[in-house]
Structure 1
Amino acid sequence: MISKELGKQTLDAAIQSSELRYRRLFECAQDGILILDFKSGKIVDANPYIINLLGFTLSDIIDKELWEIGFIVDQERTKQAYQELRLSNYIRYEDLPLQHKQGHIIPVEFVCNVYDVGLEKVIQCNIRDVSDKQRLAETLAKSELQYRKLFENAQNGIMILDYKNGKIVDTNPFILNLLGFSAPELVGKELWEIGFMLDKEVALQAFDELKEKNYLRYENLPLRKKYGQSIDVEFISNVYEVSDKKVIQCDIRDISSKRVIAQYKNVLALSMDDLVNALVAMVETRDPYTAGHQERVSELAEAIAIELNYQQINMDGLRMSAMLHDIGKYTIPAEILTKPRTLNDIEIAMLRTHAYESFKILKLIHFPWPVAQTVLQHHERLDGSGYPNGLKGDSICDEARIIAVADTVEALTSPRPYRPAVGLDIALANILEASERLFDPQVVAICLRLFKEKKFQFTPQKGQKTYTVENVRGSL
């Protein structure tokens, strides 16, 4: 009798323990759970998660049928599902809309099972909020649509290859139009099998290299169109993962026109140089004493600009301005330019018109730099004593300040009809004395450093002595 009583107590304890564990799982579950009476379909229990998910209280839903509470959007469908559940003991909806008490819709995964508890059947409905999953799916779908639009409308050719075998799995319209093939002619084929790659062995080697490095680029690769024409392309291949699967994307850009433009730019640059040289030669025929002057001024101006960290595009503009700064001397009578004696006031005034005459010529040429303005200002001085407009200080552009110093040093170290070359030491002393008053002090300091420390030398004049720090009588 005692042993039976102990056995019963043990069984009761086990049942209580089991019920407690179930209750804990029920209360703490991170899915919603509803328990329904099998016969009536009424809710007999609900866990906290489903209460919080839908905004109802426990009293709002206990002893109610699913379709009479209001969170089921489609009541007729729910009644049919209930009858189906009674017959099959299982139903599942992957994306069922439930309505929150405040009215907004929550998509859920809804799974119901029928099972036995003692001699009675009960229905357990497990409800999982799939809002995040649905948002992720919508985001992925949107992303895929955006990618597809980019892929279809790209103005470069794109091919997607299978990583393992190198076969083409997708192509965009641009590459089809570029090469003249149709999609069925390319998809499922290997790159080297189609024929538009001119060198099959190179293509095979490139494929192996791509699989090893995950990246490959050719700046100028010849491809052959369907009907034999050859075009030059930039060919870039990358390996990346899509859903844990590696794929290869080949981006192909037609550079045929780019190559033609580059050749045109080279020809244009050469033509510009030829134009400059022709204009310089035109002046030098009237004033042979200044032959090479503009070129040497350009050499020193560029050296100064390098010390000032000029960008290449600005350097090119400075070089052009320096090469042409005396172009207006073509309008000055040759007898004044080559006069072996000091010029009188009228002749000096006439000579000084060359800056404006240079401007008048150069403003008609559409340079990508302010060449005409720079040339106009190269005889202006910081204190306003220069010409032709008596500009002061910041009104004078940087390029004109550089050329002013370079022009002065070169002119003083070269002979003129009315005087011999004065020597580099005197020329440097001249600009140093006039620093801040006439010349930009930073430009002067750099010019001095170039000659004294960096051993700058002008290109030698024919038949003239080369002046350097070493052969000048003294130093500053």
Structure 2
Amino acid sequence: MNQTSIEASELRYRRLFESAQDGILILDGKTGAIVDANPFLTEKIGYSREELLGKMLWQIGAFVDIEAAKKAFVELEHQGYIRYEDLQLRRKDGSLMDVEFVSNAYDVGGDRVYQCNIRDITEQYMLREALASQELRYRRLFEAAQDGILILDGKTGAIVDANPFLTDSIGYGREELIGKMLWQIGAFVDIGAAKNAFSELERKGYIRYEDLQLRRKDGSLMDVEFISNAYDVGGVRVYQCNIRDITARCQLEGATRAAEARFRALIENVADLIAVLAPDGAIRFISPSVRQIAGFEPSECIGRGFADFIEASDLPAAKSLVDRLLKSTGEPVQYALRHRHKSGVTIDMEGLARYLPNEPGINGIVVTLRDVTLRNQWEDELRDSKRLIEGILNAIPVRVFWKDSNLVYLGCNAPFAQDAVFADPQQLIGRDDYQMGWHEQAELYRNDDRAVIESGLAKNLIEEPQTTPGGEVITLLTSKLPLRDEQGRVVGVLGTYMDITESKQQGIALARKVRALKALSAGNSALVHAENEEQLYADMVRAVVESGGYRMAWVGLLEPGEGSPIRPVGVFGDDTGYVPTMQISWSDSLLGGGPMGQCARSGQPIVSRDIDSDPAMAPWRDKALAAGFAAAAAFPLKDGDRVFGALAIYATDTLAFDDDELALLNEMTDDLAYGALNLRAGVLHAENLRQLGRSMESTVAALASTVEIRDPYTAGHQRRVAEIAVSIGALLGLPEHQLQGLDFAATIHDIGKLSIPAEILSKPSRLTAIEYALVQGHAEAGFEIVKDIDFPWPVAEMIRQHHEREDGSGYPRGLKGEQILLEAKILAVADVVESINSHRPYRPARGIDVALDEIYRGRGTLYDAEVADVCLKLFRERGYKIPD
């Protein structure tokens, strides 16, 4: 080599030394003094090159605390190599930097020098965590793999591990395999992977046998594909044998990557790929690390164009990068491109490039590349996972939000953002409840949040108001639980809510309707038992107040003569003497303008929904309000088309007397008129009993219709259960009167579901534990709704008990055996049969055979044995079909 070549080579390596992305120190081999330091190191530790040259390592502040002091230098002289991992250097400004410190000895022109490589390993820590995670994944793949896997010791060939799939497949326990040679195991005696094959494996590092037969421990044969590879794990040679059952092939994902050579000479010690390109892109030099990164030998790359190794879709970006570099003035340019691995796969690379056209020995582009494929994959997986979670959160109808310990919003799903009138959930981040449309309830919500955070306990299913941005007040069903960090400390609150306004309104309407039904039922009882007209009126108004829960009621009869007065003949609940002091008429006058007067003249029910603001109530307003009356309604007593009186009812709230309530109260008034006229005419008591029966049917029909409007599934279900239950009862020999009570109870047995939010009843998936607990409450809720209605049968108890079971495993009270009414036992069986046979929002119909099998399996344990037998007989012997 001539002097010019030597100088060019020296200059080229000098440029590489100065552009290296590791810190490098060169020490004098005799004295240990620093003779050179590259720019990367001086910039990293904050000392200038002049402050380092001529000094010993232990004289520099950055290296004072490390072990590479005088004793370590002696060790370096002796061994020619030292290495420290996870080391901390103190920069000139006092801050610490985690590094890996490696020093090698070599001769230059007969002189001994020591090269110290100092690498910032912050990113390496991250890679270690990634490798640990990868190792865990590979272990799980190993244990869960649907191929058999054996791991052999590279020196002896002894088995050191076997996965569960293999041991299950060949019938040998893991302990029977560990420590044995392949040829010592019966399953492998006949295959080629014996002693000679092991020698071949040692020589080649790979063997493969296709369409091979292994003999299991029980003597049976299994067709397999046998592949064995050699690789190094932490410097130890191992052989992995993959044994695949080729009768049902599964692809085992994953590939093992060869470890990179870490430290060599100046360039080989750099783990990243370093290359020098000519201005036209031809590769002049490439570091040996290309083997590990891209699978190519350096000799395969020299002279070829840089673009030959770029993924086709990234070629325009690569050309643009080169053009940009050629126009630059030498400043470094960061970039990211996808490269092609020799195996054909695509690898993601990030790099730093610099154009040095005037530097002797370089006259081109210096490129440093790093493989970031795994990092990008993890980032992609994280983004995909985040998108999936966001998609699920935004698709569910439940509102979800989370706040930090200062009650500031950290995030929410799209439905929650829409409620707050924000287009994007991101717009809520950093805000609090005072900045939302519901600021009127802000402190209420924040008090709940504080209670959850301070106690560490959840608050489930609490009802709270919310004022919408439009000014409407709605009702929410809210749950909140503490948000914890990895150490279990409460750092915020996670909340969900559903809008149950419609359900609440339906509940209020139902309560009013039930109130009217109770009044109707009690009034019918009064109708049956009254012996004269005066007693009937007195008992009726008492029933309206005591059973119906209204504030006051009175009956007035129309009188002829001057002023057309209305004479009170029955009053109840008038604590303030309101009725006796009234002057009321049925004439078309000021005193006839109230509900009673208008009702008497028109023959139609008349309502004053707000006494305080109704002009027609002016003559009586002050006394009415003082008595606590907020609304009033009057219903005509008619003999054919002739009105002979009216019933007035007063309520304490302005929401009283909706259409359903009015219809029931009007029906009650018709019954009252019917009874009064019968008593006047001396009609027999039996006629009133028949009227009572008709009223009972009306009551049940009204309750059932309430369910039908809200939940068609429950409505059709109740009608069919009633048909089945009555058919079972008839086959059991129950008398007609008892069958009628069973029919009534079955027709409304699920009325308690009116207390459950409609979103839960129609949910198209399995219920959560909290939601299921809410649904279980419907039996007790149904009992509460109808318990005060005066049925001649224990209808309320039948409804309450229809989910009880013979062995006490039912609900709500865990009754068993004789504690359960016979009608409830019949209702339980009919309910199960119909439910299994019918479609539900969360599952398709399962059919009558599945339903009857359930009854048979539960006979005597869950269901009454006699009732179960009769049910099975009804369907299987009598050919009973459930009506549509």
TM-score (norm 2): 0.23
TM-score (norm 1): 0.42
* Higher share in helix: 1
If asked which structure has higher relative contact order (CA below 8 Å, sep 6+), I would say: 1
Q: Which has the higher strand share?
A: 2
